[in-house]
Amino acid sequence: MTATLWILGLILCIALCALFERVRLRNIARQREDDSICTFVRSLDYRSLDTKVIREVYEQLQTWLHCGKRPFPVRVTDNLHEDYKMDPLDLDDLVLDVAKKTGRDVSDGSKNPYYDRVDTVGDLIGFLCSQPRITKTA
């Protein structure tokens, strides 16, 4: 009986945490309702970056942060760990997905100046843009 109550309490705690997180993200989204991909791009030095990477990071994060009917308004300064509560494994998966879709080779990321320093969305874009493009061989 006590084990059952403990498990029910744990499930309730997890459900409440998930609910609070969803409400937190919705509040952030509500404060940023005028933000768009254009706002996002203008906050970057987009002329020196790969626009495919910029767009793909933006879209992947919107999918990952989906909260409600509207897409989440991502900002370059958002901290992936603190603001988005992103797990390092989720970040690795995101990097691999974006790299694959944008033709970036991430097999040796340790040479990248952003290696082990990806904290914000802007850092993530910088990391991916600093990775070499995959060369196609015939």
Sign of CA dihedral 90, 94, 100, 106: negative
- Strongest mean pLDDT among 12-16, 34-38, 75-79: 75-79
> Residue 69: pLDDT band by 50, 70, 90 thresholds?
low
Residue 121 has pLDDT above 90, yes or no: yes
Residue 76 DSSP class: T
Q: Give per-residue pLDDT as tens, 122-132.
A: 999 999 999 99
- 79 by Cβ neighbours in 10 Å (0-12 / 13-18 / 19+) ranks as middle
Count CB neighbours of 104 within 10 A. Answer: 24
Mean pLDDT (the chain, rounded)? 88
Closest of 108, 120, 47, 49 to residue 83, by C-alpha: 120
Annotated domain spans of the chain: 32-130
pLDDT at res. 137: 62
Integer Cα distance of 39 and 25 in angstroms? 19
What integer is the mean pLDDT of 43-67? 90
* Model-wide pTM > 0.85: no
Residue 112 has pLDDT above 60, yes or no: yes
pLDDT at res. 68: 61
Phi, psi of 91 (to 5 degrees): -65, -45
